[in-house]
Homo-oligomer: A and B are copies of this chain.
């Protein structure tokens, strides 16, 4: 990942920190954990999606294991969440914004990396989404929550949009910093609109939607 342009790298590192922080805070709320659990789940949230992608495309050891900054930021976010979980729990909006930045850059980088390893369009789209949502999904499974990405909220869909723009740009030979930022920006805007207006992806026909937990939110 260190061959990314500096701006994308900075966003990626910021996203890693945000995922570590947010992932650990979500874990604290979902289950009674000790320091090992909180920090581990923060790190799994921050690094899990990229690790799964790298294992699937054969890029091992995963990029985040080779560049120590990812590990340090993920662990730092988790430790911060452990130490200040009650105070940070009130800062919903800044953490949601940081989390959306992470989702956006992770989806772009995941899709472009999959293409650069020779995968086709379908798998590149899937791996863009997996990079963005995979870590949170593993965390949710470990604390026995049905992953929120599977149930509600516009979370995977903005990541899919970012991956789609990325794949289109690469295929048109236009992938560079501007198109990467466009893809990430589209994801970020859709995600934040979803949070603001509490939008959800469609449910199977015939299933009631009234018993939604109020507020939703990941």
Enumerate chain A interface residues (CB-CB to B < 8 A).
Answer: 28, 31-38, 40-41, 43, 51, 55-58, 60-62, 65-66, 68, 71-72, 75, 82-83, 85-86, 117-120, 122-123, 126, 137, 141-147, 149-152, 155-157, 200-207, 211
A35 near B65: Cβ-Cβ < 8 Å = no
Q: Is the CB of A200 within 8 A of B34?
A: yes
Q: Are B60 and A56 in contact (CB under 8 A)?
A: yes
Q: How many copies does the complex hold?
A: 3
What residues of B have a CB within 8 angstroms of the CB of A83 in the complex?
Answer: 205
Complex-state Cα separation, A27 to B200, whole angstroms: 18
Contacts of A41 in B (CB 8 A): 150
Q: Which residues of B contact A72 (CB under 8 A)?
A: 122
Q: Contact at B152–A34, with CB atoms within 8 Å?
A: yes
Task: Determine the main DSSP class of A at the interface with B.
Answer: helix
B122-A68 in contact (CB<8A) = yes
User: Given A122-B72, A141-B142, A151-B37, is A82 in contact with B204 using a C-beta cutoff of 8 Å?
Assistant: yes
Smallest beta-carbon distance A59→chain B, Å: 9
Task: Give the distance in Å from the alpha carbon of A203 to the alpha carbon of B37 in the complex.
Answer: 9
A121 to chain B, nearest CB (A): 8
Q: A57-B61, A60-B55 are in contact. Are A203 and B34 (CB under 8 A)?
A: yes
